[in-house]
């Protein structure tokens, strides 16, 4: 059985800061989706924090295009 990763209300404790990075880079979600080869819908799921997982290859592509580190994109919010 996998470890529990959600809080009691079902929300993830991993925060995705994609909006902030896009704003800082003056890039749209659509532009990023085209650059990394993802659908806008899948990238939107990640942006809103509703994604349950992310492939390392996807994380790598996003970090490459946004010139950032994984820790710039994701953070853990403790209780």
pLDDT tens-digit profile, the chain (79 residues): 555 555 445 566 899 999 999 999 999 999 999 999 999 999 999 999 999 999 999 999 999 999 999 999 999 988 7
CATH number at residue 28: 1.10.260.40
Note whether residue 8 is domain-resident: no
Tally the domains of the chain: 1
Q: Is residue 28 part of a domain?
A: yes
1 belongs to a structural domain: no
In-domain check, residue 36: yes
> Cβ neighbours of residue 65 under 8 Å, at least 6 residues apart?
27, 32, 35, 36
> By three-state DSSP, how is residue 77 classified?
coil
Distance, in Å, from the CA atom of 52 to the CA atom of 42, rounded to the nearest integer, reads: 11
Read off φ and ψ for residue 6, nearest 5 degrees.
-110, 155
Domain coverage including residue 38:
14-76
Report the predicted TM-score, pTM, of the whole model to 2 decimal places. 0.82
DSSP-assigned beta bridge partners for residue 12: 6
């Amino acid at each position: 059985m996998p470890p529990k990763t959600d809080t009691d209300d079902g929300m993830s404790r991993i925060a995705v800061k994609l909006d902030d990075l896009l704003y800082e880079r003056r890039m749209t979600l659509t532009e990023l989706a085209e650059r990394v080869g993802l659908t806008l819908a899948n990238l939107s799921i990640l942006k809103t924090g509703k994604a349950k997982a992310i492939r390392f290859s996807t994380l790598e592509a996003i970090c490459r295009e946004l010139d950032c580190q994984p820790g710039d994109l994701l953070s853990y919010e403790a209780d």
